Amino acid sequence: ETAHAAFEQASGPLLGIAGLGSNRAMQAFLDYYIQYEGYGLFAPAEYRARHRLPDVGTPPQEDYRVAEDVVLARSLIREYQALVSDLECPGGLPLATFFQRGFGPSRLPHRLGYAIVDAVNRGYGMDAVRAAADIDGTEFVGRYLPLITAG
């Protein structure tokens, strides 16, 4: 939660659902939360690894497994791409469907976000992780999502 507070201080207040009148806004909202939750998980990851905290038992614990599970990472990428593709179709998606798919049991923002931030760290180091926190969520996802499968 400390990482969330720091992220908000640097990036501004959390995005709310009031502005989700368009599919473009829904994608921006999703991308923002992918970045936001990715940093929230990344911040304690080193501590968790050093102290050998479990990565099974609850969904938040299992979020960390995505960095080592290529099959899960690719599944989340496909899920994200399918959701974005459906948002781009004429008529798009109803808000309830968007939330069910984007923020449902797969924990897409948490797991995909963590996988992206972890890939940035592995590929470019902590300076790049810090710099990536300062860009817009959609740019963040667009620029760094390909790193997950490249590594």
Handedness of CA 126, 48, 1, 101 (dihedral sign): positive
More confident residue, 105 or 16: 105
pLDDT in tens, 54-103: 888 888 899 999 999 999 999 999 999 999 999 998 888 998 999 999 99
**Which residues lie below 8 Å from residue 47, measured CB to CB, with a gap of 6+?**
53
Residue 8 has pLDDT above 80, yes or no: no
Q: What is the pLDDT of residue 11?
A: 52
Cα 32 to Cα 144: distance, rounded to the nearest angstrom: 13
Cα 9 to Cα 54: distance, rounded to the nearest angstrom: 30
Q: What is the pLDDT of residue 4?
A: 43
Distances (CA, A) of 73 to 12, 17, 86, 96, 146: 29, 27, 20, 25, 11
pLDDT in tens, 26-36: 999 999 999 99
Residue 22 has pLDDT above 60, yes or no: yes
Residue 126 has pLDDT above 80, yes or no: yes
How far does Cα 130 stand from its chain's mean position?
15
Q: How far apart are the first and last CA of the chain?
A: 28
Provide Rg for the chain, Cα atoms.
Answer: 15
**Mean of all residue pLDDT scores within the chain:** 87
Residue 3 has pLDDT above 80, yes or no: no
More confident residue, 115 or 91: 115
Distances (CA, A) of 88 to 24, 70, 91, 94: 8, 27, 8, 12
Instruction: Please name the residue that has the structure tokens 């923020």.
Output: 103
Residue 53 has pLDDT above 50, yes or no: yes
Cα 100 to Cα 84: distance, rounded to the nearest angstrom: 14
